[in-house]
């Protein structure tokens, strides 16, 4: 496979055509606090196994992207230790006893530099892969992601990570409005709620691909190899 040639992946609502060298793998918020047993997500009563099934397919896709020397970027949702970038509305949302910035099972919840905020070891970034720290759900809000993508000549994104209906969906919508084509492999994104997983994916590919395309990691790997 020549990474400069245009490839076509079977997808919905129709084939996704992309040039590997100008297509980045963007992995959203695969953080310990969202995915690991004993983390913040589980503490809130969520079933982390719904997210953990995405680890293996993400590992395979990441390995393939790295092997071809293609662009990889990671995001983490979280805040400065002084919570200066945490809107008061986000701090109090949910009326939980324990909220963002408070001590949690793996350090202060969603605070940069804490163990729970970091990316799971299975998908840990390597040198040269941008890590975008974002204060919101979307990866473009209050970050330099768009500038980095422009500087690297990226036009298309394969978006994976968690959760499907929250940070993945918000990021795909933001990317779409900025002119990027987004492909979401359904096995590489996860939600704590099966019904949101299904609808989150349907929303992306509806109306002729209103926000992007949906496929499966095996279909992407098949055209890469
Ligand atoms: N990364 C991300 O989706 N953050 C969330 O808070 N997701 C929830 O589903 N809560």
What SS3 class is residue 213? strand
Q: What pLDDT, in 10s, does the model give residues 154-205?
A: 999 999 999 999 999 999 999 999 999 999 999 999 999 999 999 999 999 9
What SS3 class is residue 214? strand
> What is the chain's mean pLDDT, rounded?
97
For residue 168, the ligand 1 atom closest to its alpha carbon is 3
Distance between CA atoms of residues 90 and 166, nearest Å: 14
Whether the per-residue pLDDT at 1 is higher than 80: the answer is no
Which residues lie below 8 Å from residue 11, measured CB to CB, with a gap of 6+? 183, 213, 214, 215, 219
Distance between CA atoms of residues 40 and 221, nearest Å: 33
Q: What pLDDT, in 10s, does the model give residues 50-90?
A: 999 999 999 999 999 999 999 999 999 999 999 999 999 99
- Which of 42-46, 111-115, 215-219 bottoms out in mean pLDDT, i.e. has the lowest? 42-46
Whether 137 contacts 167, CB under 8 Å: yes
Taking the centre of ligand 1 as the mean of its atom positions, its distance from the CA of residue 146, in whole angstroms, is 21
DSSP character string of 93-111: TT--SS-TTSEEBTEETTB
Report how far Cα 15 is from the mean position of its chain's Cα atoms: 22
Q: What pLDDT, in 10s, does the model give residues 97-155?
A: 999 999 999 999 999 999 999 999 999 999 999 999 999 999 999 999 999 999 999 99
CA 45, 188, 63, 56 torsion-angle sign: positive
Count each helix (H run) and each strand (E run) in the chain, helices first. Answer: 9, 11
Is 167 one of the annotated active-site residues of the chain?
Answer: yes
Q: What is the pLDDT of residue 2?
A: 86
Supply the residue whose CA is at minimum distance from atom 1 of ligand 1.
Answer: 167
Supply the residue whose CA is at minimum distance from atom 4 of ligand 1.
Answer: 167
Distance between CA atoms of residues 77 and 61, nearest Å: 22
Is 134 one of the annotated active-site residues of the chain?
Answer: yes
Whether the per-residue pLDDT at 225 is higher than 90: the answer is no
- pTM of the complete model: 0.98
Distance between CA atoms of residues 188 and 190, nearest Å: 7
Neighbours of 210 (CB within 10 A): 12
How far does the chain reach from its first CA to its final CA, in angstroms? 7
Q: Which residues are near ligand 1 (CB < 6 Å)?
A: 29, 77, 137, 162-163, 166-167
Supply the residue whose CA is at minimum distance from atom 2 of ligand 1.
Answer: 167
Taking the centre of ligand 1 as the mean of its atom positions, its distance from the CA of residue 166, in whole angstroms, is 5
Taking the centre of ligand 1 as the mean of its atom positions, its distance from the CA of residue 63, in whole angstroms, is 25
């Amino acid at each position: 496979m020549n990474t400069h040639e245009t490839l076509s992946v079977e997808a919905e609502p129709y084939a996704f055509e992309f040039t590997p060298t100008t297509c980045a793998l963007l992995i959203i918020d695969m953080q310990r606090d969202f995915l690991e047993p004993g983390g913040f997500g589980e503490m809130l009563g969520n079933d982390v196994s719904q997210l953990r099934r995405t680890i293996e397919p993400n590992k395979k896709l990441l390995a393939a992207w790295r092997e071809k020397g293609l662009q990889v970027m990671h995001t983490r949702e979280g805040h400065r230790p002084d919570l200066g970038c945490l809107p008061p509305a986000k701090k109090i949302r949910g009326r939980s006893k324990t909220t963002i910035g408070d001590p949690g099972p793996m350090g202060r919840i969603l605070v940069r530099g804490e163990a729970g905020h970091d990316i799971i070891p299975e998908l840990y970034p390597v040198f040269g892969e941008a890590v975008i720290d974002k204060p919101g759900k979307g990866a473009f809000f209050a970050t330099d992601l768009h500038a980095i993508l422009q500087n690297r000549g990226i036009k298309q994104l394969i978006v994976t990570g968690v959760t499907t209906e929250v940070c993945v969906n918000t990021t795909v919508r933001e990317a779409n409005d900025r002119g990027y084509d987004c492909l979401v492999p359904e096995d590489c994104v996860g939600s704590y709620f099966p019904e949101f997983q299904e609808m989150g994916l349907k929303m992306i590919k509806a109306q002729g691909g209103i926000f992007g395309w949906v496929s499966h990691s095996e279909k992407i790997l098949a055209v890469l190899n």
